[in-house]
Structure 1
């Protein structure tokens, strides 16, 4: 296993709209981020991943890009961005930008040209098809954001494909001119000094030729024809050869529906594609047969089984990205921990998991202070397009029960992650002097950065310790992972081993004490490396509620 900075790094994701507002318009911006760089330096992170800040009409909060080489007015200017980059680099922090190249905005100049006529030079930059008999759509694929994945454009009388919003037409990667235009754009940012790229839904860029329908239903899924498609590895290898290989750059691909076997192909060091991927299998652990909105109870057996499979599967080739929440997922302490009585303890336990498994840990803004899910009392308070489309489809049009769907939104809605960052207990949590674009979680008076920084026993300071430990102990990065107690209902236990050093990790995922029966050879504990109760229990055969302990073993 080769050593690399991106394996040793800890990444912090910023969702710019919700991080810090500098001008009182209620929307986070680049100058706001700049004003908080000392906080990130204090936390100790190595890389900041910035969700999209490019020009965008904001149909999907910046993931619909109308100009790849300019900055959204609400966020600031290219000069502000350059100041941010310099501020990060001065503090020894790298910058990873979000790369959204499966689709663009329908307001991008390429699409404006593409839709203007069938013989326009940009027509083939997107995926156009004539309708079938009786004006039927080209196939029965459904959009990931609900409804059909095809939109009829009246100018030319043809349909264009949009796997997400109708304002996010899919780019046609089969077109070599389109690929060259994208590579030129990526080079523009890398030449400016960007250190990394997080590639949005990158495994959707190759569609099966002929775009066949999925099953016989009027509206099918279609994922089997566009996830991990036939030319995706060819395209990624080409991008690597033409652009990425020429820079010392960190890459992670968002790959919904990817298996361990797929991930090895994307991230194998000899394949020259990507360095790591975000897989979603553990993010579906509480989803029912009909998808994420059918919220079902999860068990540690399920979650541990998935994480273990990926740890073992990518042990010798490829590399894991470690995360439990992001801008598209609910808050991890509400989902996998206990955001009530044991909020602080369980947030620390989950942090221990993420920083002691093998892979690169990703921290999502607010995770480091234990921010929680929000329960807005009325639907009108929600802003997320996926949530609102789903509600319309299920309740307004489908007649589903309002309370049932609202509870699903409380559990899984993307706005859980997007409520503004909670800086202090003042009005609007110190996020803005204006009216915030999305309402705050009302608990900001108790859960905020000012309180966390002042409390030496806070979630924030526990994260600082974990990050510092990673810098000092190569075993946390490169140590071999081995599962213990695979049948235990409530404890996730494993060892990490590097050369003659061995660590033992014990994690209680329940709110009651759990007994631990470890093999005798693991009984010789030298010291507690870190624990979320502050001190080691005199009885290691019992773990307290949500207790996490990392022990150095040896005679």
Structure 2
């Protein structure tokens, strides 16, 4: 059986409006993105995940959609999108787009019509009540910015339900006509050749208080209906679920070949930072052992950071406090009492050893890989900006005007560019790092190249070694008689291990990648502080 393309995908997440402005209006656009596709291809990216680019009032970074069938006019038009897709496919790059079906904008025509009358054909697309119903605080996605989930609408003369902002009324997936409309949206974008969809807020899409019987079964089966429909239009397309859930709930999303193809690995993400904060790899190893195994039609999407906060809700209060103290010691670095609103480089004080270690862990763990735009050069954050915008500043291409992002007046730039301090665009930018062989950008490019040469990571059977010092994470991935061995040191101290404790003595060992100081010598694995090493293991002939 041919390996599915997503099993070893290198996914790159970006927001069109902050990537590159081609027309000088201060907002990134599709033509700007098209001009940088050769950069992404050269980096080794195999899939782009586009954040929402649909028309939107932008109350929530485009996740408040008012038209699912068009492109935000600031970013271009459908013709630009088609041109973008064509060049991506010419370069061998797949494209996943956001499917935001938990809610719409209050400016969406469905909602505008629904609020006019209880007899509107769109009334049942949303959730209404004559009075605010009881709710749990955890249902509020943005605590501190919203304090309730029911908002009264004067025109409708009822309350509507929303777990995000009041400007984002929740959709009622129990409505059959709505489900049909969602499939029409999916079909439209598949016709324009997208390669898959990220299901935004997937865990909330199928939640409906009080649902029972046929209604409950319909909600449970919705993802199966969606997958079957997608497969009928493009068997190669994928569904990627955003679901921050514990291992016991993963079966709602990864269930044989019936539901999602991929799932964001939030559980491992949070335990990576817990283990780094503790200097103890046991938490991460134990977390992986709790996960179900992916079959040949499923995959984890591992990541370090993305466009939202680094959420820590799957950790205990004590564990969360430890991670906060290490990576977000100031309250301004935290958000919603659950997460960290910083990019990776500032979190680890821009220490090259820790950055390299983090990325080695990311690329070595079983699953596909997600990179966030700008993280390949170690971009910083702007904590003076509100909420999640702190990690959504424009891409830093060069040390020229506006970081090479736009020729517009600085006041017109979609978000302020980082101009001061250690992460200023004059210090951190693509052009400068392309000229520096020791820069993070070149390290990431080598890491991607090496990962592509080791497909065993994404498709092989993996095993974690248990009899290791607390600071060491050691594991193997094996496929078709090829075995890869990975060793990572979570402590800032040199650690020496016996090679024979992990690899049979009759084996031939080849060093594939290391931090520069770590090595195999005289039957020993010598790991530098925060060091790592990748080895290919073969039987001697």
TM beyond 0.5? yes
Please state if 1:546 is matched with 2:536. no
CA distance in 1, matches of 2:66, 2:435: 42
Please state if 1:346 is matched with 2:354. yes
Aligned residue in 2 for 1:249: 237
Please state if 1:169 is matched with 2:166. no
Question: Deviations for 1:106-159, whole angstroms, at most 9, x for unmatched residues?
Answer: 10000001111222111101011110xxxx545455420121111111123211
Please state if 1:273 is matched with 2:271. no
| TM-score, normalised via structure 2 length | 0.83
More divergent stretch after superposition (419-428 vs 513-522): 513-522
**Contact kept? 2:247, 2:291, Cα under 8 Å:** no
Residue among 433, 437, 440 paired with 2:414? 437
1:135-146 maps to which residues of 2 (within 5 A)? 136-137=132-133, 139-140=135-136, 142-146=139-143
**Contact kept? 2:305, 2:372, Cα under 8 Å:** yes
Residues 1:509 and 1:286: Cα distance change in structure 2 (over 3 Å): closer
CA distance in 1, matches of 2:41, 2:303: 20
Residue among 336, 343, 352 paired with 1:331? 343
CA distance in 1, matches of 2:295, 2:517: 31
CA distance in 2, matches of 1:59, 1:3: 40
Aligned residue in 1 for 2:329: none
Aligned residue in 1 for 2:511: 528
Please state if 1:476 is matched with 2:476. no
Residues 1:286 and 1:231: Cα distance change in structure 2 (over 3 Å): farther
Question: Deviations for 1:497-522, whole angstroms, at most 9, x for unmatched residues?
Answer: 22332221111233333343555352
**Contact kept? 2:515, 2:531, Cα under 8 Å:** yes
Segments of 5+ residues of structure 2 without an aligned counterpart are: 310-341
**Contact kept? 2:196, 2:239, Cα under 8 Å:** yes
CA deviation after TM superposition for structure 1 residue 419, in Å: 1.7
**Contact kept? 1:311, 1:481, Cα under 8 Å:** no
Please state if 1:420 is matched with 2:394. yes
Residues 1:260 and 1:286: Cα distance change in structure 2 (over 3 Å): closer
Question: Deviations for 1:245-290, whole angstroms, at most 9, x for unmatched residues?
Answer: 3312022111122x334324422333x21101114224555999xx
Count of aligned pairs: 488
Residues 1:299 and 1:183: Cα distance change in structure 2 (over 3 Å): farther
CA deviation after TM superposition for structure 1 residue 317, in Å: 7.7
Residues 1:494 and 1:139: Cα distance change in structure 2 (over 3 Å): closer
Q: Counterpart of 1:68 in 2: which secondary structure?
A: coil
Q: Counterpart of 1:516 in 2: which secondary structure?
A: strand
| TM-score, normalised via structure 1 length | 0.81
Q: Counterpart of 1:96 in 2: which secondary structure?
A: strand
1:89-488 maps to which residues of 2 (within 5 A)? 89-131=89-131, 136-137=132-133, 139-140=135-136, 142-146=139-143, 147-210=147-210, 231-247=218-234, 248-257=236-245, 259-270=246-257, 272-285=258-271, 300-301=280-281, 303-305=283-285, 307-309=287-289, 313-314=293-294, 318-329=298-309, 330-335=342-347, 338-340=348-350, 342-343=351-352, 345-372=353-380, 374-376=381-383, 381-383=384-386, 387=387, 414-434=388-408, 435=410, 436-441=413-418, 442=420, 443=423, 444-485=425-466, 488=469
Residues 1:102 and 1:493: Cα distance change in structure 2 (over 3 Å): same
Residues 1:52 and 1:313: Cα distance change in structure 2 (over 3 Å): same
CA distance in 1, matches of 2:376, 2:356: 9
Q: Counterpart of 2:118 in 1: which secondary structure?
A: coil
Please state if 1:41 is matched with 2:41. yes
RMSD (Å), alpha carbons: 2.8
CA distance in 1, matches of 2:251, 2:297: 6
Residues 1:453 and 1:494: Cα distance change in structure 2 (over 3 Å): same
**Contact kept? 2:364, 2:457, Cα under 8 Å:** yes
Residues 1:308 and 1:68: Cα distance change in structure 2 (over 3 Å): same
Aligned residue in 2 for 1:397: none
Residues 1:319 and 1:517: Cα distance change in structure 2 (over 3 Å): same
Q: Counterpart of 2:68 in 1: which secondary structure?
A: strand
CA distance in 1, matches of 2:416, 2:445: 29
More divergent stretch after superposition (10-19 vs 519-528): 519-528
Residues 1:529 and 1:176: Cα distance change in structure 2 (over 3 Å): same
